[in-house]
Amino acid sequence: MAERNRFNGGENAGRWTERAFRWHGASSGGSDGDEERRVSPLAQLYVSFLEEEGYRPHIDEDGDVVFKEEGRTYFIDVDDSDEEFFRIVFPNFWEIESSEELARVIFAANYATMKTKVAKVYVRSDGKDTIASAELFFGDREQFKPVFHRAMAAIRAAVHSFVQKVREADDDGV
């Protein structure tokens, strides 16, 4: 089977049809354009940190903090109801085109999650794309700072393992 370059590097991150397994209802403020959106202190903490690190983050309509690294779009899931939970998400990096491919993608996602500390790779609930994330708990919300770059490296490692495993399966005709 010919190799396909299906990895889109998160280019579709701004066009996802659902938020990556959103299980909390973040409020983005009022619905009329005149009302200023409330920015949570947690989101502001993440924005300030990312700016100090040289990123150009912004807060999206859900209140999450969106940023780019090496041309790939990520977001930090802001959950004001659980300030000890920290999650960086790399959404929609591998589009799934068929049910046959879905089986290979699930296998590769399981493999990448198994082989990589902290990071997870999973299929979006509609079965059409993949998501990678790093998820951690901290006793103090500031504790994400010293491990942020390692968490990003874990996501990159998991995505790399995933892509390798999918391409191996494609090459093997699985």
Instruction: Encode pLDDT of 66-105 as tens digits.
Output: 999 999 999 999 999 998 999 999 999 999 999 999 999 9
Q: Which residue has the higher pLDDT, 19 or 164?
A: 164
CA distances for 20 relative to 23, 44, 52, 121, 166, angstroms: 9, 21, 26, 11, 21
Q: What is the pLDDT of residue 35?
A: 46
More confident residue, 145 or 21: 145
Domain ranges of the chain: 11-17+35-172
Side by side, the strands of the sheet bearing 130-137 are 58-59, 65-69, 72-76, 85-91, 130-137, 119-123
**What is the CATH class of 11-17+35-172?**
alpha beta
Residue 169 has a pLDDT of 80
Residue 136: pLDDT over 80: yes
Q: How much is the pLDDT for 8?
A: 57
Per the rule left: phi > 0, alpha: psi between -120 and 50, beta: everything else, 37 is: beta
Q: Is the pLDDT of residue 47 over 50?
A: yes
Model confidence at 23: pLDDT above 50: no
Sequence letter at residue 8: N
* DSSP class of 77: -
Q: So what's the pLDDT on residue 129? A: 96
Distance separating alpha carbons of residues 90 and 64, to the nearest angstrom: 13
| Proportion of the chain above pLDDT 90, given as a percent | 72
Residue 21 has pLDDT above 90, yes or no: no
Average pLDDT over residues 16-39: 45
Q: What is the pLDDT confidence band of residue 124, given thresholds at 50, 70 and 90?
A: very high
How many CB atoms lie under 10 A from the CB of residue 173?
Answer: 6
Instruction: Name the band, by pLDDT with cuts 50, 70 and 90, for residue 37.
Output: low
Mean pLDDT of the chain: 84
Does this model's pTM top 0.85? My answer is no
